[in-house]
Every structure is written in structure tokens, then in C-alpha cells.
Chain A
Amino acid sequence: MSRNKILAAIRNHTASMQVAPLPDRLEIYESQKPDLHTSATQFAKAVQAAGGECIDLSHSSGTISGSKISNVEDYFNGHTPEILHAHFAVIENGACWIDHHCTDDRTRYTLPEHLAIFVPNNTLVPTMHEAYAHIQALGIEDFGLFLSGPSKTADIEQSLVLGAQGAMVTKVFLI
């Protein structure tokens, strides 16, 4: 059976390897100094760099009723976007965490041309380290993804083109 053959071959070669300890994660956390006052601005910049747009509605309570924006089409030139509610988002790269709680149908974030992602502004975390600590607490049921900006490619002469296969326009609303 290939399984046992492969594992035996690996053990045969790794038996004499030095035991290498895993790194102490403190070394990485030490240099992190998240500035919470500017976090929304930093996050918006990261979303923009990823080809998206971030709209901060967290202070304009009038436009939001419950978890819905009254005139979301206005932000998409009249197109109706697919709306997804992300758990949380990452300041350093503009990525939003979406899992089965947000949608059980994975085509909802892949097929539509316009995506509106709602993220509560008090859920922003500085980096991927805090993001994965958060996911460890939340748990992953069957799938989950970090989504940052619209689908993109630079496969033709390194020219960046938005809307390669998935969403053409992605906007993140901080609520």
C-alpha cells in the first residue's frame, strides 16, 4: 500500500534529522503596535489597494436600519449587489472573513459581479495573527475564506485587470 510505503520512506529519512522546535510566537507579536484610532482609515486604505472601496457608515446611523442599507444600489451605479455579512476583517490587508454562517451557498461570493460586504467596525483586527487567533475561537465548520477586494489578474503583461473570474466590483461597508 502506497500510504505505508510513503510514511516508511519519510520516517527512514527523518529519523536522523535534528529535532527543531516550533518558533515562539512572541517574537512576531512584539513588533505589532496597532493604533486603534486610525484603524478604520488604515483598513479603508488596504481595501482600496486591493481594488475595492471601503465606505464607513458606522457613524451615519440614518442610512442603516438593522443590518440593511436603504439605498445600497446607489453605491453600485444602480446594480443590485449580492450582500454578505462578514464576521470580521483584517486591517493590514483589507480581507474579510466569510464562512458558512455568512452564506451556506458558496456561489454567492463567486458568481455575482457586484459584492457588498458588511463588516461591523468593532471587529477589525490588526494582522493575520490576530485573525487566526479569532478563527480558532470561532471554529471553522466546513469552509471559510478571506476575501480582499474584487477578483483580479495581471496575467497579460503584468497589467492589473479587475474582474477576472469572480466579482468585478467589491465594496466593503463598515457598519
Chain B
Amino acid sequence: MTDTRWHDRALWFVRQKRDSAAKSLPEWEALRRSASQIKAHTMAHLADYLELFEKNATQNGIHVHWAADATEHNRIIADILQSRQVKNVVKSKSMLTEECGLNPYLNTKGIEVVDTDLGERIVQLRHEAPSHIVLPAIHLKKEEVGSLFEQELGTLPGNSDPTYLTHAARKHLREHFLSADAAITGVNFAVAEEGLFVVCTNEGNADLGTAITNLHIASMGIEKIIPSLEHLGIFTRLLARSATGQPITTYTSHFKRPKEGGELHIVIVDNGRSAILGQTDTAQALHCIRCGACMNTCPTYRRSGGHSYGYVIPGPIGSTLGASRNLEHFGKAVYKCTLCASCTNICPARIDLHHQLYAWRKTYVERGYLSPKKKRLYGIGSWMLRTPVRTRILFGISKWALKLLPRSILYSRFNVWGRTRELPSFAPKSFAQLYKEHIHEPK
């Protein structure tokens, strides 16, 4: 990605919509505090609430399954599908099934899975992963979608009008919906006292799939539980406002019992989550409701895009979750954070994201994962930035070097960062200069 400004702007636009939605509610901060309290309470009693949910859901006629890890999750779903001779599945958005690698697994069993969320369908046709948990295809320009659809769906060459492309996808997906034998969905919230679960979409794809087919399988992480219906009032008010600035998703659907003549299954998945509960510094990561607001506000995410994180969930929340999963493998992402704390300040569940990323850095170094080269570099950086005089000298030299040195030196083989990117240009005046000028100016 050479020019990242459009990506930055697109996400900042979403962030601004979130801001005006949040500001329209005087009780916004009270809602965030309540959400955080409900999550803390539920996590402290998680096993009890899961058992209560299981009891009530079973009474409602839902088949409840438990999966310790991704392999078991995939096997349970494949078993259900195979024993009913299912060949075609429509799936609505679920980051958990991405995390478990469900699609490729089902494909090896001869089962076709069609992702029905438009953004997810786009990335599925491109054989890549979603780059954002709410806006899966945010890394693509409409022209790229246009040429993809021209190839895959036979749309008119050169036509990249979003309305035209969306309606072409609608037609294409309708065929898959109508010929599907089963529907897989994620879960946004599971209500323990009712034994029901809630799925939120704007496109209605989860509703369409489950309305047409008679077999519905839902995958949920253990942390999706909330105690009662009353708490949904708080989370449904926070979720869409934080995600896209809408006051509610178009479809907020509550599934309590199978349809007449149909089957309803739910797979409760651990896959490393219970271990996170035991991490005192970072257990709060399980409070996440997957709104994606931390990505939209993150200065690094907005410029680098979701694929650069290397974990199934990108951005601030993905960095801490990836580190929990496998620090050695995914830990590098915690260094993307500038510690600006914007994510912490807008998270609807008030997760202390930047504190977690800082804590992970300490562990990363303690466990010896930091490469010797970087360690040396950080050592020099830390010495240079320790006093104001040294900092001024460093910035003075850098500014001079960037202006006067020829490209052959600036982009020599030592500049690994500059291989795929342009170095930023310095602002004409430093913050310290501007501050000095403005502080003497009369208001």
C-alpha cells in the first residue's frame, strides 16, 4: 500500500460517525460504565452463567455443544453437517469461524461454504482474509471489487458503481441462499437467563440464511454470555453506535427455539479464552463486543491496514488477543501501538487496551523474543529521547538529513522500513516551536 490516505480517511469517517452518535446520548459514559461492569460481573461468574445458559437453551430445544479448541469446533460442525448430508452452507459473519479456520476444513470434507456478508464474500472470492472485523473489505477500492465481480459474477466491464455491484452480489447470493441446506452464524450476545442468543447484521444475511434453511448452527466464544435481557438494552445501544455510528443494526435477531421441523445447534468454544481469564493484566480483553471502534480510531491501523497485523483480528484488540494466543508468533503487533490511548477512550466496554499492549511489550522482552538488532535500536532511541537537549539534537539532525541527503543514501539497504514505503516529510515547524509561538499570542 503506497498511498494510504484514502484508507485513513475512510476509517476516520466511520470514527466521526461514531462520535456524533455517542455525543447524541447524554448517558453515553454511563452506558459504557454499565457495560464494563456487566462484563466484569459475568466474567467473574462465567462458568455459572454458561451452565445456566446451557440449561435454558437445552430446555428451549437448542442442541448445545462444547469445543475446547478450533479442531473440536470444526469437527463438531462437520459431523452435524455430514450426518444430514449437507453439501451447501451459507454463513453469515463470524470472526470465530475465521479464527478456527472452519471454511477450509469444511471444504476438505466436500462441503461448500458461501460467506454471505457482502464484504466477506468479496474477500472470500479474492481468497484473502477480512482486514477489519466489521468492514471486511475496507482495504479494497471499488475498482478492485468491480474487476473481481466482472471476473466472478459477470458484471459489466469497467463498472464499479457500488450500488450496481451490491445489487449484482445480491442476485448472486440469493441463488446460494435458495439452494443452501444449512446456515451457520456467529453470536453477538447469548442471554443466560433466557437461553437465547442474538445476531446483529445490517444486510439481513443471517436472517435470510436461517429463514430459508431448516438447520442453523451458531458458533460462540465463551465470553459472549450476558446475564439477562435487560442487559441487552445496554449492549444494543452501544454496539452499532460504536461500530458504524448507527443507533442500532438493521436486523437485531433473537433466536430462542428451532423453527417448526427445524434444528438449532450452538457450539460454545474456548480455544484459548479460559487461559486469558487467568492473565491478570489482560483478562479484560474478553470484554470485547467486536464493534471495531478501536481499529477505526487507531492511527497505526488506519495507515497500515488490517492485513499487516498477521492475526485473524487486527487493530488494538487483535494485537492483545493475538499476543494471548501466541506471544512469540503474533507478539510483534504490540509494537505497532503508539500508546496514544485513543482506543481505550472510545472502547464501549472500556477495555484498557493501551495498558494491555504496554504490558505485553514487557513480557515480550522478558521472554527474549525481541531481536538483538531491535533491542540495540531501542536502546539508542531510549538514550536519545531521555533528555530534551538530546531529543532536540536528534530531531534537528533527522530533519536536516531527510531534506539534504540523496535518495541513494536515505533508501539504502539499511532502511528496511523504506523498502515499500516513503519516509514521511517533517512538518515545517515543530510542536515545540508552535507551542512557544502560540503561548505568547494574546487570545
Contacts and interface: CB of A to CB of B under 8 A. Distances in A.
Interface in B284-298: none
A82 interface: no
Nearest to B51: A7
B250 A148 contact: yes
Q: How many of chain B's residues touch chain A, expressed as a range? A: 35 or more
Nearest to B279: A13
B46 interface: yes
Most buried by A among B68, B202, B230, B236: B202
Nearest to A167: B204
B79 to A, nearest CB: 14
B208 A14 contact: no
Contact of A157 (B10, B44, B207, B227): B10
Interface residues of A, number: 74
Interface in A1-51: 1-3, 5-7, 9-14, 17-23, 25, 27-28, 30-32, 46, 49-50
A120 interface: no
A156 B66 contact: no
B118 interface: yes
Most buried by B among A11, A17, A110, A164: A164
B337 interface: no
A131 interface: yes
B218 to A, nearest CB: 13
A111 B208 CA distance: 7
Given A142-B256, A144-B254, A14 B47 contact: yes
A150 interface: yes
B274 interface: yes
Given A6-B68, A6-B274, A128 B256 contact: no
A136 B232 CA distance: 11
Contacts of B211: 105-107, 109-111
A107 B212 contact: yes
Contact of B259 (A31, A106, A151, A158): A106
B229 A136 contact: yes
A148 B244 CA distance: 15
A159 B162 CA distance: 7
Contacts of B244: 154
Contacts of A144: 253-254, 256
A95 interface: yes
